[in-house]
Structure 1
Amino acid sequence: MTISLIDSASAMARILGAASDERVTLVREMWAPMAGMYHFIPGGVDLADVHRQNFGFDWDDSSDRLREGLETLEAANAWTRISDALEAGVAALRSADPGVTVPDLTVLLVLGDPRNRHFVDEVQGMSGFGGISGYIAITVWPTERVLERLEAIAVHELHHNIRYSPGGVVWNPATVTVGEHVVSEGLADTFAAELFGDTGPTHFVDPATRRSDEVLAKVASGLGVTGMQDFAAWVLGDATARLFGGQPVGLPTGAGYAAGSRLVAAYLEASGTTAAHEVRTPAAEILRQALPRLGLTPPGQA
C-alpha cells in the first residue's frame, strides 16, 4: 500500500503564476491523477468542473489572497502533516481490523475559494471527499481552526475510504440509505477523535446541534430514505440542500454528523469496541443496537 500525496503546492504556485488563459489547463493537470475517482462516469468528467464543485479556488482570482493562503498552508507543513496522519490512520485501522483492505491512496489537497460564502460560512472552510476507494480530495481555506484539524480531516476521509473499499460496505447509489451516510459520518468523526482527540469532530457542526434531541429525532425519521439526491439535506443540512437544488427538510448544517456521532457512541458503548474496529460494520447493525438505546424507533417500525 502506498500513499501518493500530489504535490499540489507546486501545482497551485504554477497556476497562480501563469497567464490567465493558461490557468484552467494547469488546474486540469493538477487534478489529473484523481481522474480515476470518476471511472464510473461514461466519457469521464471535466476536471476543471470537478475543481469548482469541490469549492476549489477561482483560478481567475488575481488578488493576493490565494497566494497568501498557499503560503499559510506551506508554513503549516500541511502536506507532511496529512501524509503522516494518513499513515497513522492506516496503522490504527489495520491493528483494529487485520482483515481490512487498504488500497493505494492518491490524495489531493487544494485551496478553497474564500469568496464562496457557503464554503466560508456554512462549512467553515473545509470540504472533503473520500468515498471512492483509492482517492481522497480535501479542499480547505487555512483558518486557524482548519489548520489545527488537518490531521483529523485527513483520517476522517480515510475512514470513509476504507469503509467503501473492496471487502467493506458496498455503496449502491440505487439502494443506499440516509442511515448509511449518517452512520459513516459518525464513525469517521469518532475515528478522528480516537486518534486526535478534541480536534476530531467536524468543526462546522454547532455544539448545540450535537446536543439537540430534536435534531437527532428528525434525522432518525429519515434514516430509511433512499435516493442520493435527498442526502444533502439529511446529512449536511438545509443550506447545502438549497445550494445543490435539493429539498430542505428542516435541519441545521451538519445535522447528520451530529446524529451519526450520537448513534455511533451508543453503539460503541454497547459493543465495547472502537470506530476503527467497526470500519466495515453495516449501518443496519449499528442502528439496530443504537436506536433503542437512544429511545428511537428503527426505520420501518411503528
Structure 2
Amino acid sequence: MSITVLDTYSAMRRILLAPVADRADLLRSMLEPIRGMYRHHPGEVDLVAVHLQTSGFPIDRDEERCLDALETLAAAGAWQRMRRALDDALAVLLEATPGLEAPDITVLLVLGDPGDEHFMGPCKGLTGFGGISGQIAITFWPFPENVERLEATAVHELHHNLRFSPGGVVWDPMTVTVGEHIVSEGLADAFARQLYGDELGHARIGVPHLGDDEVFAKVLTGLDVTGMQNLTAWVHGDPSAERFGLTPVGLPMGAGYAAGNRLVDAYLAATGRTAAQALHADSSQVVAVALGRG
C-alpha cells in the first residue's frame, strides 16, 4: 500500500492567483482525488460546495491572507513533514497489528477559511476527517500551535483511517454510538501521543477539559446515543452543534475528545497495550475496562 500526500501547495497557489471566475473549476480539480471520501453520500456531490461548507479557504475574498498562510506552511515544510510522519506511523501500526491490510491512502491538506469565526475560534484553526478508508482530509490554519502539531495531526487521522478500514471496526452511520466516536478519538490521540508525546499529541480542542470531572460524567451519560447525526454535540460540543443547526446537549467544545482520552488512557493502563496495538479495540470493551466493569 502507499500513502500519497497531494501537492496542494501548488494547486492552492494557482487557485488564489487566478481570476475569481476561474477559481471554482480549479478548486474542483484539486479536490477530485478525494471524491471517494463522499462515496456514502446520496446523489452527486458538489466538491466545491462541500469545501466551502466545511471551512475550506474562500475563493472570492481574503486572497492575500490565504497566500501568506500558504507560504507559512511551505516554509514550515508541511507537506514533507506530513509524508514522513505518515510513513513512520504506518510502519508502527503494521508492526503492532500483524495481518493489517492497509489501503492506499490519499491525503489532502487544505487551508481553512480565515473569515470563519467557528473554525478560527472554537475549532482552533484545525479540522480533520480520516474516517473513510483510503481518504484523509485536513483543513488547516497555520497558527504556530498547529504548525507544531502537523505530524501529530496527520497520524491521528491515519489511526482513524486504519481503524475503520475493511477488516477493522465497522462505522455504520445509522447505528454508530457516541461511545464508538469518543473512543476512536481517544485512541487516535493516544497514538499521536505515543509517537510525539503528550504536549503535541493531544488534539487542542480537548485539552481544556481533560481534568473536568463534570464534563466527563456528562459525556458518559450519552455513550449509547446512536446515529451519526447525533454525535456532534456529544463529541465536539455545543458550539459545533449550534454551528450546524443541531440540538446542543450542554457540553463545551471538545468534550468528547477529553472524555475519550480519559477512557482510553485508563484502558491502556489496565491492559498494558499501546494505542497502536489497540487499533481495532472494541469500543464497548474499552469503556468497560476503563470504568472497571470489564
Residue of structure 1 in register with 2:237 after alignment: 237
Cα displacement string for residues 222-267 of structure 1 (whole angstroms, at most 9, x for unaligned residues): 0000021111110000000000111111111100000000000110
**Percent identity (aligned):** 55
Contact 2:206 2:256 in 1 (8 A): no
Partner amino acid, structure 2, of 1:26: L
Answer yes or no: is 1:188 the counterpart of 2:188.
Answer: yes
Residue segments in structure 1 that go unaligned for 5+ positions in a row: none
Residue of structure 1 in register with 2:44 after alignment: 44
Partner amino acid, structure 2, of 1:256: G
Cα displacement string for residues 95-125 of structure 1 (whole angstroms, at most 9, x for unaligned residues): 1112222110000000000110100110100
Gap change, CA 1:25 and 1:92, over 3 Å in 2: same
| Displaced runs of 4 or more, over 6 A | none
Secondary structure class of the residue paired with 1:211: coil
- For 1:273 and 1:30, the matched residues in 2 are separated by 40
1:282 to partner: Cα distance: 1.2
- For 2:89 and 2:63, the matched residues in 1 are separated by 37
Residue of structure 2 in register with 1:9 after alignment: 9
Gap change, CA 1:62 and 1:193, over 3 Å in 2: closer
1:174 to partner: Cα distance: 1.5
Gap change, CA 1:24 and 1:286, over 3 Å in 2: same
TM-score of the superposition, structure 2-length normalised? 0.97
Residue of structure 1 in register with 2:89 after alignment: 89
TM-score of the superposition, structure 1-length normalised? 0.95
- For 1:7 and 1:194, the matched residues in 2 are separated by 28
Contact 1:85 1:151 in 2 (8 A): yes
Partner amino acid, structure 2, of 1:136: I
1:203 to partner: Cα distance: 1.1
Give matches, 1:194-233, under 5 Å: 194-197=194-197, 198-207=199-208, 209-233=209-233
- For 1:272 and 1:55, the matched residues in 2 are separated by 39
- For 2:66 and 2:278, the matched residues in 1 are separated by 39
Residue of structure 2 in register with 1:275 after alignment: 275
Residue of structure 2 in register with 1:246 after alignment: 246
- For 1:20 and 1:94, the matched residues in 2 are separated by 45
1:64 to partner: Cα distance: 1.1
Of 126-135 and 31-40, deviating more is 31-40
Secondary structure class of the residue paired with 1:106: strand
- For 2:38 and 2:131, the matched residues in 1 are separated by 11
1:12 to partner: Cα distance: 0.3
- For 2:264 and 2:22, the matched residues in 1 are separated by 47
1:41 to partner: Cα distance: 2.5
Partner amino acid, structure 2, of 1:2: S
Give matches, 1:1-302, under 5 Å: 1-197=1-197, 198-207=199-208, 209-292=209-292
Secondary structure class of the residue paired with 1:64: helix
Of 183-192 and 61-70, deviating more is 61-70
RMSD: 1.2
Secondary structure class of the residue paired with 1:87: helix
1:173 to partner: Cα distance: 1.1
Partner amino acid, structure 2, of 1:115: G
Secondary structure class of the residue paired with 2:139: strand
Contact 2:177 2:227 in 1 (8 A): yes
